[in-house]
A and B are shown apart, each in its own frame.
Chain A
Amino acid sequence: MKGTTPFLKIFTILVFLFLYSPIIVMVVFSFNESKSIGVFTNFSFRWYEKVINNPEVWKALFNSFWVGAVVTIVSLVLGLMMAMAVTRYSFSGKSILESLILIPVIIPEIAEALSLLIMYIFLNIPLGPVTVIIGHIAFDVSFVTIVMRARMAGYDKSIEEAARTLGANEFQTFFRITLPTLYPAILAAGLLAFTLSFDDLIKTLFTTGPGFKTLPLIVWSSAARGGVSPELNSLSSFALSISFLFAVFRLRAERRLER
């Protein structure tokens, strides 16, 4: 770019190095043959083999996926309804509702996790997949609503009126006009919701019951147990690549939205 000083270039490169070097080191050392973390000896898939042959990892991966799927679907339905309510109608308490939507995004996750746990204990709900899912939905709904609301701000309601003048009733209008035109926004919000659920550790940690583990939980518990190890490196890289994949999908969906 013209007018950019060399200083600015170097500064930018340094910032990005700072951001990404730990990840790069982790990924590089996941291919290290040696058990030592400090020295790279030989390229090998040895640790990946170990990860892949661990049934506990597969079970956790499966758990992460189905929890993510349920969370995404429920959050999308609730978030879409919420976003439609606040963008289309005016009602008393609307501005309070709009601030309430934001709060789960702002408050520290640890506080949210703890309060969820206290609530479950208070209500005597056994901890397990259900409590994990409810915990994830509780804040994914906010993210979905925020994304959808932003996308719906410029929505031209007259296409729905056009559909009605052409003989479509309210259901037909919703499923044939409203939903398809919002599809890119739904896709982007859905992928965001899934990624958030898939990556979540703190809330899962507080709200899960005995024996129910998601992928981040496995990573965390093996780190807590044995400290850093090459096996942990490859496990993390594995989890990272899945999250990365979903982030790419989401960016592509968003880019399509802008067109």
Chain B
Amino acid sequence: MNDVFSVELENIVKRFGNVVAVDHVNLKIRENEFFSLLGPSGCGKTTTLRIIAGLEEPDEGIVKIYGEDVTDVPTHKRNIGMVFQHLALFPHMNVFENIAFGLKMRKVQKEEIRRQVKKILEIVKLEGLENRRVNQLSGGQQQRVALARALVIEPEVLLLDEPLGALDLKIRQHMMVELKNIQRRVKTTFIYVTHDQTEAMTMSDRIAIMKDGKVQQVGTPLEIYYRPSNTFVASFIGEAVNLIEGEVRENGLVDTSLGTIYCTESLTKGRVAVMVRPEMVEISDKLHDVDNLFKGTVQSIIFKGSYIEYRVDVQGNTFIVHKHGSAELERMHHPGDFVEIGWRKNSSLIVPI
């Protein structure tokens, strides 16, 4: 594994009045990684990003960029690029002048500026729009200008603060793929702040989940989806999750109000939650080959396009079950039907509360 870190945060604390916005955050972000800070609003992700940029000063802790302590280096002397939430394009400049600004500040020769702007416009696919005013561009195009402006200075790390928030769904989906492609092309570390897990899951190599200023878990999208480190991460990630509280009896066995549930083996002890993703739960009139089996009643069904969502009542607990495939339409269960739901033991995970 690559052990060069582009950004390191050591014990970062930031307070606004009585509120601790960032609470002892430690992160090591690898070179050329697409790294996301994901969390609900107010979790401190944007403040963390602004601390990396030098736009906020941490109350405690150290910020390093490529091993060098930059905690006291002002923003304009850190070699970073940033794409802002509302893009922050310069309204009095055209596309070329916007993109060239950073190069001008670096006293690059005119000819060289022209060459580099042309090159970056090709990468973000905006060739020929140099002389447009920024307010004449569409939302997606403005997005690309903001990206080009931050990338043309070849920053050591690119910081993105919810840059796709203002775009509508289709363009956003398109830009997600684009961003990832651009990141591969320019080979730069991207640190991406978002509250949208789809964006984080789609693009990231690794994700840090934040809540109340604290990092909850750092991992690949697969890791945080299937092996959440606590119930917050389990319920925050994914469309839905089933969590059943209980007590660990022995390795892989949890006693709950529904009886003993067989789980993937884990060293966690004491009070825990059993986590099962809705797509891992099977549903049928009669089930075979499952380790955990419960009888229940269908409460409601919702047709969601590519799958059907059932809510099944089992002794007062509601289970969410996702069933994929069009064939299901033929054998659909209806509210009031008695069904069996169940899953194999390696589909459920013991999660600390």
Q: Contact residues of A with B, CB < 8 Å? A: 156, 158-159, 161-169, 172, 176-177, 180-181, 183
B62 within 8 A of A: no
The 10 closest A-B pairs by CB, nearest first: A166-B102, A167-B105, A158-B88, A162-B88, A165-B82, A164-B75, A159-B88, A180-B92, A158-B84, A164-B76
| Residue from A164, A166, A176, A183 with most neighbouring chain B CB atoms (10 Å) | A166
Of all chain A residues, the one with the shortest Cβ separation from B91 is: A181
Chain A nearest Cβ from B339, distance in angstroms: 53
* Complex alpha-carbon distance, A164 and B106, angstroms: 12
Does the CB pair B92–A156 fall under 8 Å?
no
Does the CB pair A167–B92 fall under 8 Å?
no
B80 within 8 A of A: yes
Q: Contact residues of B with A, CB < 8 Å? A: 53, 55, 74-77, 80-82, 84-86, 88-92, 101-102, 105-106, 149-150, 153, 159
* Complex alpha-carbon distance, A164 and B75, angstroms: 6
Does the CB pair B153–A164 fall under 8 Å?
no
Given A161-B75, A166-B81, A167-B77: 18 more A-B contacts, CB < 8 Å: A158-B84, A159-B90, A161-B53, A161-B55, A162-B88, A163-B90, A163-B101, A164-B55, A165-B53, A165-B80, A165-B81, A166-B102, A166-B149, A166-B153, A167-B76, A168-B105, A169-B74, A169-B76
Chain A nearest Cβ from B295, distance in angstroms: 57
* Complex alpha-carbon distance, A163 and B74, angstroms: 13
Task: Tell me what chain A mostly uses at the interface: helix, strand, loop, or mixed.
Answer: helix
Of all chain B residues, the one with the shortest Cβ separation from A158 is: B88
Chain A nearest Cβ from B333, distance in angstroms: 51
Which residues of chain B have C-beta atoms less than 8 A from A169's C-beta? 74, 76
Does the CB pair A172–B105 fall under 8 Å?
yes
Partner of A181, one of B76, B81, B90, B153: B90
Which residues of chain B have C-beta atoms less than 8 A from A181's C-beta? 90-92
Which residues of chain A have C-beta atoms less than 8 A from B106's C-beta? 167
* Complex alpha-carbon distance, A158 and B86, angstroms: 8
* Complex alpha-carbon distance, A224 and B132, angstroms: 59
Does the CB pair A166–B101 fall under 8 Å?
yes
Contact flag A165-B90 (CB < 8 Å), given A158-B84, A172-B105: no
* Complex alpha-carbon distance, A172 and B105, angstroms: 9
Which residues of chain A have C-beta atoms less than 8 A from B55's C-beta? 161, 164-165
Query: What are 19 A-B contacts with C-beta separation under 8 Å?
Result: A158-B84, A158-B88, A159-B88, A159-B89, A161-B55, A162-B88, A162-B89, A162-B149, A164-B76, A165-B53, A165-B76, A165-B81, A166-B76, A166-B149, A167-B102, A167-B105, A167-B106, A168-B76, A169-B74
